[in-house]
Structure 1
Amino acid sequence: MRSVSPCIRPRACSSSWAYCSGLEPVRADCANIGAPSLGVGALLYGLARGCAETGMQWSVEQLAGLPREDGFRLRGQQVTRLETFVDAAFAFALTLLVIFFETLPTTYDELREALRRVPTFVLCFVLLAMFWSAHNRWSRRFGLDDFASTVWSLGLVLVMLVYVYPLRMVVSSGLWLATGGFVPTELVLTGPSAPYDLMWAFIIYGFGFGAMAFLLWLLNRHALRCADALGLDAFERHEAGTEKGVQAILATSAAVSIGASFALLAMPRESFTYLLSSLPMFAYPALGIAIPVYGKWRERRRPEMP
């Protein structure tokens, strides 16, 4: 497991200052002991405690020896078991996207039908890769492996595994609407209530998308709370703040889409059309404008790279 401090951690509490100093750590201050037995209180305590309380501290000498990538010192050069687990979970989710249907095509007609589903797979792949890349970037930059980092990362895996099936179904239905039926939909909706049911599918999609962005926001917020212990300079703090802002924009777009959907659900069901049902989804294409504008705004305020 990657060390999140200058000390190597051969046992559960070895990240504390006392252990690294050769002293016996106090059990109550150990981030990894007591959480299962103390229940919710220990969980909240573990999430609220700062990095300084765990004894994690990078020295100037250690920071000087780290390589930089885009101006950011890479504190997470060694892959932890947590990061490996997250990577494997994302790979498994991508596998679920591929094997969602039972058999491989055996005729030309089946192959042609399968190729019509490629846009759905590509878009789902891009969305999952976006979240994986954000977590990978966070891991490499900060190298955190403490209690809060573990909880938020496992939460990301949980949401992603629940989210992968609704993701493919909703993306396929959205592409079906956008392409006039060329891309097959995997969300079968029939009857007069079909547009109404489609909006509920978009709401489920929004909760998954927003939850993943929010968990990445929590991870970056946690890293900024550990800025002093990690020895982040002004440039690194600014870049971490930018990443946190991007995840906030992603989560906000999901919240806007969900809010618009619930507002439309207040309308009489018989007035629903497919066009009306798809309106909340336009919050996501707007990200193509919002994020570049935000990036340019942050870039103008970026400190000089060391």
Structure 2
Amino acid sequence: MQPLSDSFIEQCKIEDGFRLRGENMTRIEVFVDAAFAFAVTMLVISIDQIPTSVPELIAVTKQIPAFIASVVLLMWIWQTHSSWSKRFGLDDTATVVMSVLLIILVLIFIYPLKIMAMGMFGWLTNQYLPSSFDLNSWNELRFMFSYFGIGFSAFFLLFLWMNKHALKHKESLKLSLFEQHDTQTYIYVRYWLVVIGLVAAAIPYALPDKWVPFSGFVFTLISLVYFFVERRQKNKWDTINKDNTSQ
């Protein structure tokens, strides 16, 4: 790709110390946004029909927490892609391929995401918030956890690839030292999120039946990953700054 001009870099808005090189939406980003909007619509219309009585309305209302949880996770994925697009503004062939892969993953995993959310709330509330998805054995539950874990890893493996691709073009994008460091931090975080997803996919098969429902608690490690990786990277950046200042 052609290097960005200094005049363009200077006029880019700065957010969290990062120049936003892609504030103007590309056609592929518009397409991705439309796909995410469609995915949210799929979550809404997963109700078979409009309620025709109060009991049916109550039954539908009990699905709201699972719907909200699904949308929150979906919006996390969307925001991750949106932030990447704004920061780097890439519009090359690799970006198109990665964006299309993201759309495919969203459309594949949107229903399993809703199913797992319903199952989680059903388990936490002793079926007061029921799940309409039937599981007939512990192995089927193991399969669902593995399916979700693999999907989770696939998303963040893709985001890891996106950030590595952007870092590969650091000269053309004229990334500052801080921007390179921040991108590397994103890569480290995404790497550990991929690992967490794979652990979540494998651990149900290592647990006895009665402990399988607790497999999902592996995802609580996400907050620890963010805390420790970002803390480590911040300390590393402070050291770099100190060394540059002393020179």
TM-score (norm: length of structure 1): 0.74
Cα distance in 2 for partners of 1:209, 1:170 equals 12
CA contact (8 A) 1:249 1:291 kept: no
Identity %, equivalent residues: 33
Q: Within 5 Å, give how 1:201-212 maps onto structure 2.
A: 201-212=144-155
Deviation at 1:138, TM superposition (A): 0.3
Question: Who is 1:285 aligned against?
Answer: 220
Q: Within 5 Å, give how 1:75-224 maps onto structure 2.
A: 75-190=21-136, 194-224=137-167
Unpaired runs of at least 5, structure 1: 1-53, 265-270
Question: Who is 2:235 aligned against?
Answer: 300
Deviation at 1:225, TM superposition (A): 0.7
Cα distance in 1 for partners of 2:233, 2:53 equals 53
Deviation at 1:297, TM superposition (A): 2.4
Between structure 1 and structure 2, the one with the greater Rg is 1
Query: Which protein, 1 or 2, shows the higher relative CO under an 8 Å CA cutoff with sep ≥ 6?
Result: 2
CA contact (8 A) 1:202 1:281 kept: yes
Question: Who is 2:245 aligned against?
Answer: none
CA contact (8 A) 2:149 2:199 kept: no
Deviation at 1:283, TM superposition (A): 1.1
Deviation string, structure 1 residues 154-186 (Cα, Å, up to 9, x no partner): 111101100001111122112211221122113
Residue number among 218, 226, 233 corresponding to 2:176 in the alignment: 233
Deviation string, structure 1 residues 95-131 (Cα, Å, up to 9, x no partner): 1111101212232222221121111011111111111
SS where residue 237 of structure 2 aligns?
Answer: coil
CA contact (8 A) 1:160 1:208 kept: no
Which one-letter code corresponds to 1:202 in the other structure? F
SS where residue 130 of structure 1 aligns?
Answer: helix
Deviation string, structure 1 residues 204-257 (Cα, Å, up to 9, x no partner): 111111101110110011001111110000111111112222222221110111
Cα distance in 2 for partners of 1:126, 1:164 equals 12
Which one-letter code corresponds to 1:278 in the other structure? P
Deviation at 1:272, TM superposition (A): 2.3
Cα distance in 1 for partners of 2:148, 2:132 equals 14
1:272 equivalent in alignment to 2:218: no
Question: Who is 1:61 aligned against?
Answer: 7
Cα distance in 2 for partners of 1:209, 1:187 equals 20
Q: Would you tell me which structure has more helix in proportion to its own residues?
A: 2
TM-score (norm: length of structure 2): 0.91
CA contact (8 A) 2:62 2:129 kept: yes
